[in-house]
Structures are given as structure tokens and as C-alpha cells.
Amino acid sequence: MKKVVLIVMDGLGDRPNSILHGKTALQAAYRPNLNYLASIGLNGMMHPIRPGIRSGSDTSHLSLLGYDPEKVYTGRGPFEALGLGLEVLPGDVAFRANFGTVDSNGKVIDRRADRISEGTELLAASLNMEINGYRFKVKEGVEHRAALVIHGPGLSSSVTDSDPHEVGRKINTVRGTEESGTRTAELVNRFLKSANMILANHPLNEKRVKDGLKPANCLLLRGAGKAPDLQPFSEKYSMKGACIAGIPMITGLCNMIGMDIIKVKGATGRTDTNYEGKINALLQALKTYDFVILNYKGTDVAGHDGDPILKKSVIERVDRAISPLKDILEDTVVAITGDHSTPCSMKDHSGDHVPILFVTSGNLRDRVRHFDEISCMDGALEINSINVMDYLLQLSERSDKYGA
């Protein structure tokens, strides 16, 4: 049996960019190590989820790890909460939230409280509370955005939004959309009553009013989702798994399936991350773990910024950092791919397929010599992200035979 390494360059895939004379960032990057691994590996294209789907990082990572999002993904609530660094456990119910402004009659004046950007961490922290043994945790996001996670037994996500989604309308009382949601709705309403009282009296809001800004005196909830009860990774694959990633959404997801999270100094989840530090941590982790997933977020960040030069340089840094992987192929299977494309020309995720390579000693090689979107189209494989774990398992001699 071999060890297994899955390197994900987040949002790796791209489209031809005029700044790069019609090349993609990956094509334009100096990438001798990626090319070498491609030349001794089995390459191809991977559809995130399935052909044409514009996946998020949450759904694509679920799928990459072999958890079919079409079966287990329960909406953005729990995964946005993970992304903000909140702990989300199976059975927890999470909402996406806004800090908004209401008048004295509870009518919404501004769903974004003048796009409040400062001090939301104080507001969020003031809303953590326990009601009847249920724990409520709020975490701020970018600008007016936030998330709420409720922890406790027997919760249901079959509840309506408190957010009326329109200015001029009163905030809604949360209601169960099914019998099972009634009790959760009551709990949420009790929480909101306290929370909105706390916000109304928060010193930050007094200051905002004095400064001529709308107060963030109301938490608007939408998109309740229940955290799925995912089979632990170790149980599903008989592998002890670890995760190295700079962003909470990925570490949170891996934590949810029972992986250990390895912290690396200087791993920021940005383009200035500690590229070598993460690989060193991976090599170290392989001494005690069977499987390590490593996410570099910088490629996605550069894609969202629409900066192909930056994306190219992130890829070049990754290429240099992964050099030691060439020396562990005797007893390790390495896969390198993106979780989806984030074309710089689009500044958002596309539904394109992305290059993928599998490499280990003794395996089949195809004729691909370069690791990029176009070269890998000539590779051996065209698969969906849900197939990746099966492929890694068989290459690492960890699969059970299906049949006789």
C-alpha cells in the first residue's frame, strides 16, 4: 500500500488571456516540476462535479474527497459558516446572515446597514449565547455578511428566513416549513429577539448613529441548512487523513469528516502564503498519515482579482515548492489538480474542466508532456471529481476488489 497526496490549486483552471498573449496562466507559467510530473504520469481533464457545472470550492472539495455533493450538500449555510471559521458539527443548523437596519416598527430600511465594514466582529461576538441548552454562535464575514450556527439536539433546517429580502417590509417571524421545523423556528425567534435587542443597544451602533450612519441593529437570517452527517474519512477509506490549507472553508470541511488539520506558520490562504512550508508540513505528515490533502488558495484569489500575471506567479511558486514530491513517488501516489476554474477574464468560477495528473512509480504513462489545460486534453483520462478518490485508492493499492 502506498501513501496518497492530493494537491489542489484552488481555481487553477483558466481561459486564454490577452495579457498572456492568449495563453492561460498555467500555460504561461514556468513550471518544470509540474511538467516533469505530467511527463511521467497519467493525465487528463477533470470536470468539477460533472461537465458544465460551475461548482463552488465547498461542493468541489466534497466531491474531490468522494462525498457526492448531490447527495450530501445541504446548502450554503453550513459551508459559509465553515468558511468563516465557525465550527459546524453534524446536525448543526446554520444560516447565512446580514447585519441590517430596521426602524422602530421592525421594518427593514437597509438590508446591509450602509454596507457596514468596521466593528462587525464586535457585533458578532456580542450575539453568542445559549438558550435552553442550544448554543448560538455568530461570526462576521466580509462587510455586512455573517453566519449563524446553532448547536444542539434535534434541530431542523425546515424553517423560513427572517430576512424579508426587500426593503420596506417587516422582518419575518421564522416558521417551520414542516412539522419538524416548529421547535427550531421557536428557538430561532427567541434568539433573534435577544440578538436584535443586544444590537439595538450596542455602543457601536450608538456611535454609528452619531456619525450619521445607519445602525446595524438587526440580524437578518436566510438559507437555513443542516450540516450533513458525513461518514468519517478514516472509516470510508481506512486511511488516516490530514489537511493542510489556509482557508477555513477547507479546514472546516476536512474537520467535519474527522481529518486532522495541520497548521503551518505563514499559511495565509492568500497569494503570500508559505508555499514551501506547506510542502514541508506535508512531507512530515506522511510519516504518520496515509492521506494528505493540501490546498493552495492563491490561484483562486488571483483569478477572482482578474490578475493573470499574479496567477502565473502563484503557479510558479507552487511549482518550485512541490519539487520534493518527485522523490517520494516510490511509495506515494500524488494527484495534482484544481477544484474548479477561476478564469481571470471572468473573475469568478467557470464550469470548465481542469487539468489533473496522477503520478506514482510503476504506473501507466500517457503522451502528455506539459501540465496545462490544453496539453492535458490529450491525456488518458476525462473524469469527474467524484472519481478521483477511487482512482487514488486503486493506484495506492488500497481498493477492495468489486466482485471476484
Residue 53 makes contact with a second copy by CB under 8 A: yes
- For the segment 170-209, give every residue that binds a second copy (CB under 8 A): none
What is the rounded CA–CA span in Å between residue 115 and residue 255?
Answer: 32
A 10 A CB-CB count for 114 gives 19
Place of cell 468558511: 83
Residue 391 makes contact with a second copy by CB under 8 A: yes
Helix (H, G, I), strand (E, B) or coil at 290: coil
Residue 378 makes contact with a second copy by CB under 8 A: yes
At closest approach, how far in Å is the CB of 289 from a second copy? 21
What is the rounded CA–CA span in Å between residue 146 and residue 325?
Answer: 39
- Of 353, 356, 359, 371, the one binding a second copy (CB under 8 A) is 353
Residue 60 makes contact with a second copy by CB under 8 A: yes
| Number of residues in contact with a second copy under rule CB under 8 A | 62
Residue 212 makes contact with a second copy by CB under 8 A: no
Residue 401 makes contact with a second copy by CB under 8 A: yes
Residue 93 makes contact with a second copy by CB under 8 A: no
Binding mask 63-82 for a second copy (x = CB under 8 A): ------x---x--x--xx--
Joined grid coordinates for residue 164 = 424579508
Closer CB to a second copy, 154 or 403, in the complex? 403
What is the rounded CA–CA span in Å between residue 166 and residue 265?
Answer: 44
Dihedral-angle region of residue 66 (phi above 0 means left; psi in -120 to 50 means alpha; beta otherwise): left
Joined grid coordinates for residue 88 = 459546524
Helix (H, G, I), strand (E, B) or coil at 37: helix
DSSP-assigned letters across all residues of 102-133: E-TTSBEEETTTTT--SSHHHHHHHT-EEETT
- Of 133, 153, 168, 403, the one binding a second copy (CB under 8 A) is 403
Closer CB to a second copy, 81 or 302, in the complex? 81
At closest approach, how far in Å is the CB of 389 from a second copy? 8
Residue 389 makes contact with a second copy by CB under 8 A: yes
Whole-number Cα distances in Å, 239 to 194, 328, 355: 45, 18, 25
Helix (H, G, I), strand (E, B) or coil at 154: coil
Residue 383 makes contact with a second copy by CB under 8 A: yes
Closer CB to a second copy, 123 or 335, in the complex? 335
Residue 230 makes contact with a second copy by CB under 8 A: no
Residue 252 makes contact with a second copy by CB under 8 A: no
Alpha-carbon torsion 233, 234, 239, 240, what sign? Answer: positive
Residue 59 makes contact with a second copy by CB under 8 A: yes
Residue 139 makes contact with a second copy by CB under 8 A: no
Joined grid coordinates for residue 124 = 458578532
At closest approach, how far in Å is the CB of 91 from a second copy? 21
- For the segment 29-48, give every residue that binds a second copy (CB under 8 A): 45
Amino acid at 237: Y
Question: CA torsion angle for 247, 248, 254, 255 (degrees, to 10)?
Answer: 150
Span interacting with a second copy, options 3-11, 207-215, 267-275, 358-366, rule CB under 8 A: 358-366
- For the segment 309-348, give every residue that binds a second copy (CB under 8 A): 345-346, 348
Sheet holding 332-337, edge to edge: 260-261, 241-245, 291-296, 3-9, 332-337, 354-359, 42-47, 381-384
Question: Which positions lie near a second copy, rule CB under 8 A?
Answer: 15-16, 24, 45, 49-60, 69, 73, 76, 79-80, 83, 249, 345-346, 348-353, 362-367, 373-374, 377-383, 387-395, 397, 399-404
